[in-house]
Amino acid sequence: MTQRRWARRPEGSNWGDFGEDDQLGRLNLLTPDKVREGAAEVREGLAFCLSLPLDLPGGKGFLAGRKPPQLSPTVWSEGGEEMFNKVSSMPNSLDVFCDDQVTLCLQFSTQWDAFSHAGQFFDADGDGEPEIVYYNGYRGGEHVVGRDARGVHQGALKLGIDTFAERTIQGRAVMIDVRSYLGDEWRAVNFDDIATILDRDRVVIEPGDMVCLHTGFADKVLAAGADASPELLGRYRSGVDSWDPRVLAWIDRSGIAALISDDLAVEAVGGDGAQTCCDGAARAMMPLHELCLFKLGIPLGELWQLGPLAKWLRANGRSRFLLTAPPLRLPRAVGSPANAVGTV
């Protein structure tokens, strides 16, 4: 066992509970039993794609520095020959080939957040001075590193998205159909809303389940296409009210393995709570990201296309399904597209 990286852990965190070297957090709850429970939900053999096209959401400036993917042909030789509609040079060959490449912002569209996506200034060593720390005490500058002395970007040496890919993400998931209750107007979804929906729809969540929140936002993204404006989409951005402490307590005690939404950030960034919290005290401005990524090790999925599956589940009186959603096995990345599949 390695030497512990912290002398104190954040209040309400589970650092060390899955081992001092753990990088999986609540994904440890995706046991073989949970995979079998997910497989038991497959009765019809119907599979739903839960990913948006990766060039959505459209709209200039909607996601600040995150840009849509840029495709280009692979350059096949030093002479700059592009490998697209390339006729084979082999004698008597009928072959024509295409080969391309992509510049991809990994968290532009449907995505998983790795634990290295959001850390905090926290005094983990107990010396009275806060330092940059991520889940389970992994340190910025040592484990999550920007550029080295040569200017080369290092990325997440620990807590990278590849740890999720190696583990795989598969098991039973539960849909909470927020849109059917709240409609399309912007709303910060508080604990009372969630409790009402769970009771009305007889939704049962057990430890190790993955929870999906259908707000309808991704449906609006898909309908708007490349011409979507920030103003248009901003009117439909319901998300979890992370300034409601009962919501955070519910996420903790539920024992969920992952939290997924069709919204941009899962939590309602810029909601009423954010306007009243800033009293001068130092705190996280995204409390749900703090709880899930920094304290508890709960992966966050954002901008998933949940609409068609949510509609089918509601029509058939169901809320559970098998979710298969590994990210790209891209070493040291802090996020990844998720080409997730829900099977019923």
For the stretch 146-182, pLDDT in tens is 998 899 999 999 999 999 999 999 999 999 999 999 8
Q: How many CA atoms lie within 13 A of 184 on its CB side?
A: 10
CB 186 within 8 A of CB 47: no
Q: pLDDT value at position 225? A: 85
Q: pLDDT value at position 186? A: 80
pLDDT of residue 79 exceeding 90, the answer is no
Q: pLDDT value at position 276? A: 44
Residue 272: pLDDT band with limits 50, 70, 90: very low
Looking at per-residue pLDDT, the higher value among 130 and 272 belongs to 130
pTM of the predicted structure, to 2 decimals:
0.93
Average pLDDT over residues 250-275: 83
- Six-digit token string for 138: 């992994």
Residue extents of the structural domains in the chain: 25-60+107-118+157-343, 70-103
- Residues 6 or more apart whose Cβ sits within 8 Å of residue 155: 144, 145, 331, 332, 333, 334
Query: Can you list the pairs that 187-190 forms with residues at least 24 positions away whose Cβ atoms lie under 8 Å?
Result: 187/238, 187/268, 188/238, 188/239, 188/240, 188/241, 188/243, 188/244, 188/268, 188/271, 188/272, 188/273, 189/213, 189/215, 189/238, 189/239, 189/240, 189/241, 189/247, 189/268, 190/241, 190/244, 190/246, 190/247
Quote the strand ranges of the chain, DSSP E: 47-49, 70-73, 86-87, 96-97, 100-103, 111-113, 120-122, 131-133, 144-147, 153-156, 170-177, 188-189, 210-214, 239-240, 258-261, 300-302, 320-324, 335-337, 341-343
Residue 275: pLDDT band with limits 50, 70, 90: very low
Q: pLDDT value at position 76? A: 83
Model pLDDT for residues 89-142, shown as the tens digit of each residue: 899 999 999 999 999 999 999 999 999 999 999 999 999 999 999 999 999 999
SS3 191: helix
The structure tokens 């948006």 sit at 52
Pairing of strands 131-133, 120-122: antiparallel
Q: How many whole angstroms separate alpha carbon 17 and alpha carbon 20?
A: 8
Closest by CA position to 237, among listed 274, 204, 200, 209: 274
CATH tag, 25-60+107-118+157-343:
3.50.30.50
Q: pLDDT value at position 280? A: 55
